[in-house]
Chains A and B, each alone.
Chain A
Amino acid sequence: MARIGVFICQCGKNIESTVDTKKVADEMAELPGVVYSCNYRFMCSAPGQEDVKKAIKKHKLDGVVVAACSPHMHEKTFRRACEAAGVNPYKCEMANIREQCSWVHHDTTKKAGTAKSIDITRMTIERLKKNKPLKKISIPVNKRALVIGGGIAGIQAALDIAEGGREVILVEREPSIGGNMARLSETFPTMDCSQCILTPKMVEAELHDNIKLYTWSEVEKVDGYIGNFTVQIRKKARYVDEELCTGCGDCLVKCPFKAPSEFEMGLATRKVIYTPFPQAVPNIPVIDAARCPKIQKGKCGICEKVCGPGAIDYEQTDQIVTEEVGAIVVATGYQVMPTARFGEYGAGKIKDVITGLHFERLASSAGPTGGEIRRPSDDKVPDSVVFIQCSGSRDEAKGVAYCSKICCMYTAKHTMLYKHKVPDGQAYVFYMDIRAGGKRYEEFTRRAIEKEGAMYLRGRVSRVYERDGKVIVQGADTLSGDQIEIEAEMVVLASAVVSRTGADQLAQKLGISYDRYKFFNEYHPKLKPVETVTGGIFLAGTCMGPMDIPDAVSMGSAVAGKVLGLFSAEEMAREPITASVNTMICNACWDCVVACPYTAIEKEEVRNKKGEIVRVNAKVNDGLCQGCGVCVAACRSKAIDLAGYTDEQVYAAISVF
């Protein structure tokens, strides 16, 4: 006969307000196999856990049911307490009488809540009687990390992991690392030059012994599980031998063909063989194959002729390299909503309507205008600039309900940069709210208004159009209540921060989830902000939502801490909740093989001594199995059971009714 202890938690008022926990405890005490039952204010508190341990010893318990919150909250807590007191942790079960009972009842007479709690707890007790003691599975951990994305978040994560003594593979889609931060002129609120603080980190990442850099590369395929991932990386053809190239730049000078620069977002041109910007890391050019006449038509070949070390290789093809890693950090960043999306602001057809990222390039001393603010249409220094905040953000009609978080700050910065460079100029800012939460942020926006003369107008701009060489901005100042028309010479949209094109495909490759905006989901918004639901895969930076540089860097470092923690032991223990096949019943239909989302089930052939196949059946790989239970449902002959969730346990739970 089982010796079960039942512990009913009041959770302060959370449970007690709609459940009579004393009554539940009393009823449970009457059940066969239950030798001890009590209620308590906070079971999860130290004294509460102590009570569990004491009861285990005193009543020689061999199983424990805690009726409290969701197992997501405290299953681990109580299983640990049981283990400490000598009971197998998998002989401890939670009965969820909070999320699934007390919180959904409003009846303070406690009638319904108590009745339902009794049912839930009884089911758990019957289930527990069929629980088997399980042992944690230990799996080896490959102590190398993959970081996807070489922006500031990815660089920070890579550097911190590398400094922690572990190898890092850093994969970047563009020809250089640096990400969007490399585009920025100066950074708020300190106004230090973005390049000046970023490039040392880029160089450090390149030179670090523990970091292996793959630029102009993309993750193709990911297999495996926490501690044991196999990643295929597509190294796109660069047409330049990375070993031979010295980065002298002769080819860039001599190449006769030009194309719009991606890095300058069309504000300038680059050569067809190019590095995106002078401080690119690595300083190795890439040939734009689609535009290169040599590659397309076999005509030209100048770069090959001028290359001293003979590094040009027109025959290069994409290569797939395979890397084995134990953890993956996703740091793929953001992009901004393009001006073409704003029909009311000229749909991208008005040259002098640009995004904030374009303005960064205009203000950057390394940018196309050498840091002078000149408008794209005719290079004129604009005598007035209108900045439009919340362009696309907080705009459900454009499908973006969220706040892009960084625009209030960078727009204030833009007005200052503009004022410093064009002292006679006038900056206007249309805003809805000024969101300047952050250290020295509020002071910064006030400085733009009070000291730098930016005219802030509270309202949204309805329409932007051209008239006589001016850009006419029509909007409202809701504080005065009036309609406003400004004849501006340039308009800067603080365009919404949106997820990267293709973010959803990457998420599908990795098996992580994303929200309706295709930002990646963290495991828990407060308590597990850098983890994903998939073990061993972590997030850093704006791929999970809009954030500024300090937040992205913090996340990069936080993630490094998590990865180093995972790498701190030779092996990691994991939950023994895995499926197993009863080979005597399995009829080898392979439905489970098809159903398994983790490719954890393989076909097994059993042979006799003569080597003849006597039976074929399915077999579950413990390392890969995530315990999702899909195979259990798929199996027609009921040959598969999931440890901790066996049919026997489930039927026992149902049997109380």
Chain B
Amino acid sequence: MMHKLAKDDIQSDILGQIERVSGEELNKCYQCGNCTGSCPVSFAMEIPPTKTIRMLQLGRVDDVLKANSMWLCVSCLQCYSRCPKAVSAANLFEALRQLSLRKGESHEEIKDLPFPFLKGAPQQAIVSGFRKFVS
């Protein structure tokens, strides 16, 4: 697949916004792959963490937002903990989620949640789940 790259992709406002919201500098990442290697969920991600950061560096925000990756990030911080450049992929995923949630687009609807789950699960799961998935 050919991807056309122009300076507007790299210098886009949305990248600036992602950096500001996440507190991370995309260009610090040198693509070593440690986050993907560490990530317990990367096996299920359509775009694993390292590649997500690469695509963000290239300005491919739409592709990244379409992928399931950000909704699968468990915020376990293994990526950040082992990053030689102290970049937090978890913070970037959180920023991407926020980008979507702040537009009022929820990933999960409360009404769809299974009742037995709501009954048995620890409260903390429900609260943190809402924070991650519901706008």
A and B touch in the complex (CB under 8 A): yes
The contact of A474 among B37, B50, B51, by CB within 8 Å, is: B37
Question: What 0/1 pattern do residues 462 to 486 of A give for CB contact below 8 A with B?
Answer: 1100000000001111100111100
Contacts A481-B50, A482-B48, A483-B39 hold; do A459 and B33 have CB atoms under 8 A apart? yes
**Residues on the A chain within 8 Å of B47, using CB:** 481
Closest to B78 in A: A462
**Residues on the A chain within 8 Å of B50, using CB:** 459, 476, 478, 481
Within 8 A of A (CB), among B28-46: 30-39, 42-43
Determine whether the beta carbon of B84 is less than 8 Å from that of A476.
Answer: no
Determine whether the beta carbon of A481 is less than 8 Å from that of B48.
Answer: yes
* Interface status of B83 (Cβ within 8 A of chain A): yes
Contacts A397-B83, A474-B37, A478-B51 hold; do A483 and B31 have CB atoms under 8 A apart? no
* Interface status of B85 (Cβ within 8 A of chain A): yes
* Interface status of B76 (Cβ within 8 A of chain A): no
Determine whether the beta carbon of A396 is less than 8 Å from that of B85.
Answer: yes
**Residues on the B chain within 8 Å of A398, using CB:** 84
Distance A396 CA – B39 CA, assembled complex (angstroms): 20
The contact of B86 among A396, A477, A478, A481, by CB within 8 Å, is: A396
Contacts A476-B34, A483-B42 hold; do A395 and B84 have CB atoms under 8 A apart? yes
Determine whether the beta carbon of B33 is less than 8 Å from that of A460.
Answer: yes
The contact of B82 among A344, A394, A477, A478, by CB within 8 Å, is: A344
Determine whether the beta carbon of A476 is less than 8 Å from that of B30.
Answer: no
Within 8 A of A (CB), among B68-117: 78, 82-86
Determine whether the beta carbon of A397 is less than 8 Å from that of B84.
Answer: yes
Contacts A432-B30, A462-B78, A476-B50 hold; do A484 and B85 have CB atoms under 8 A apart? no
* Interface status of A330 (Cβ within 8 A of chain B): no
* Interface status of A461 (Cβ within 8 A of chain B): yes
Most B Cβ at <10 Å: residue of A462, A475, A477 = A462
Closest to A474 in B: B37
Determine whether the beta carbon of A463 is less than 8 Å from that of B84.
Answer: no
Determine whether the beta carbon of A477 is less than 8 Å from that of B38.
Answer: no
Q: How far is the CB of B35 from chain A (nearest CB, A)?
A: 8
Within 8 A of A (CB), among B19-33: 30-33
Closest to A484 in B: B37
Number of residues on chain A facing chain B (CB within 8 A):
23
Determine whether the beta carbon of A478 is less than 8 Å from that of B83.
Answer: no
Closest to A397 in B: B84
Closest to A473 in B: B37
Distance A474 CA – B43 CA, assembled complex (angstroms): 12
Distance A310 CA – B129 CA, assembled complex (angstroms): 81
Determine whether the beta carbon of A462 is less than 8 Å from that of B86.
Answer: no
Determine whether the beta carbon of B37 is less than 8 Å from that of A475.
Answer: yes
**Residues on the A chain within 8 Å of B36, using CB:** 459, 476, 478, 481-483
Determine whether the beta carbon of A483 is less than 8 Å from that of B48.
Answer: yes
Most A Cβ at <10 Å: residue of B34, B37, B38, B48 = B37
* Interface status of A221 (Cβ within 8 A of chain B): no
Distance A101 CA – B34 CA, assembled complex (angstroms): 46
Closest to A475 in B: B37
**Residues on the B chain within 8 Å of A397, using CB:** 82-86
The contact of A462 among B31, B38, B43, by CB within 8 Å, is: B38
Within 8 A of B (CB), among A429-485: 432, 458-463, 474-478, 481-484
Determine whether the beta carbon of A476 is less than 8 Å from that of B83.
Answer: no
The contact of B37 among A390, A395, A461, by CB within 8 Å, is: A461
Q: How far is the CB of A227 from chain B (nearest CB, A)?
A: 46
Determine whether the beta carbon of A463 is less than 8 Å from that of B37.
Answer: yes
Distance A396 CA – B50 CA, assembled complex (angstroms): 18
**Residues on the A chain within 8 Å of B39, using CB:** 483
Distance A477 CA – B48 CA, assembled complex (angstroms): 11
Question: What 0/1 pattern do residues 46 to 69 of B give for CB contact below 8 A with A?
Answer: 011011000000000000000000
Q: How far is the CB of B12 from chain A (nearest CB, A)?
A: 23
Contacts A483-B39, A483-B42 hold; do A476 and B85 have CB atoms under 8 A apart? no
Determine whether the beta carbon of A458 is less than 8 Å from that of B33.
Answer: yes
Distance A241 CA – B37 CA, assembled complex (angstroms): 57
Closest to B30 in A: A432
**Residues on the B chain within 8 Å of A478, using CB:** 31-33, 36, 50-51
The 6 A-B pairs of least Cβ separation, nearest first, read A459-B33, A462-B37, A476-B33, A395-B84, A462-B38, A476-B36
30 contacts between A and B (CB under 8 A): A390-B32, A394-B30, A394-B84, A395-B84, A396-B85, A397-B83, A397-B84, A397-B85, A397-B86, A398-B84, A432-B30, A432-B31, A432-B32, A460-B32, A461-B37, A462-B35, A463-B82, A474-B38, A475-B37, A476-B35, A476-B36, A476-B42, A476-B50, A477-B33, A478-B31, A481-B47, A481-B48, A481-B50, A482-B48, A483-B43
Task: List chain B positions with a Cβ less than 8 A from chain A.
Answer: 30-39, 42-43, 47-48, 50-51, 78, 82-86
